[in-house]
Amino acid sequence: MTDERLREEATTTDGEFRQKLDALIGQPTGGSGKPTVAPDPVNQPMIRHWAHALDDMNPAYLDAEFADNSRFGGIVSPPVMLQTWTMPAPKIEGIAERGGVPMEMGHNPAAFIEEAGFKGIVATNSEFEIERYPRLGDVISVTQVFEDISDEKKTALGTGHFITWLSTYTDQDGEVLGRQRFRVFRFKAGTPAGTAGA
């Protein structure tokens, strides 16, 4: 097969792969696509654990009298706890068979990315937008969709794609509490930059 023919086939394959990536945008990241509902409502004990673990002793989180007289009108949760509230209880049984994942995994619409050789994964950053602080008793739900997938990038880790998904958190009445953008890099491991010939 000629070099030109190989280049044509690679271009076609790359184009088809890009189309599959683009088709993910706006789609749920997995499972049924339904919102995930927090196993427990926002509560004082969990807020207290968080505040002490992170040494964030804001009295609006811990002091009922102070919080009642604050702009919040009562105890509120640290806003970056949004993800914490919606984490499901871990399922230990069968964890080895699931590759160490502490929950049952549903349909993964992005499985083709790993199948294409992008087996490495590393989290790169997380960004929050807060609409309001959660209050005691709020029952929080989250929906997650793919928001953006970069063109192929070459990095010191290898060649791959930056994948961003958007989590939208709402309360029991459907009011948006905040949004989180979480970005990972899926890559094919290669020789890190600067180490060739070492």
Residue 94 placed within a domain: no
The two three-digit tokens of residue 59, written as one number: 């009295």
Task: Map tokens 């929050």 to a residue.
Answer: 128
Residue 65 placed within a domain: no
Residue 135 placed within a domain: yes
Contact 185, 122 (CB under 8 A): yes
Task: Map tokens 């927090």 to a residue.
Answer: 38
Q: Which of 151, 146, 179, 190 has its CA nearest to residue 164?
A: 146
Reading the chain (198 residues) residue by residue, the pLDDT tens digits are 544 443 444 444 578 999 999 999 999 987 667 899 999 999 999 999 999 999 999 999 999 999 999 999 999 999 999 999 998 777 777 767 766 666 666 678 888 999 999 999 999 999 999 999 999 999 999 999 999 999 999 999 999 999 999 999 999 999 999 999 999 999 998 745 544 443
How many structural domains is the chain composed of? 1
Residue 70 placed within a domain: no
Residue 181 placed within a domain: yes
Q: Are strands 153-154 and 176-189 parallel, antiparallel or unpaired?
A: unpaired
Q: Look up the domain containing 7 and give its range.
A: 3-38+108-189
Residue 178 placed within a domain: yes
Residue 172 placed within a domain: yes
Contact 179, 143 (CB under 8 A): no
CA distance 38 to 83: 9
Q: Which of 130, 122, 187, 193 has its CA nearest to residue 156?
A: 193
pLDDT of residue 8: 41
- pTM for the whole thing? 0.81
Residue 102 placed within a domain: no
Give the CATH number for residue 33. 3.10.129.10
The two three-digit tokens of residue 37, written as one number: 């509902």
pLDDT of residue 34: 85
Bridge partners of 179, per DSSP, are 129, 168
pLDDT of residue 14: 79
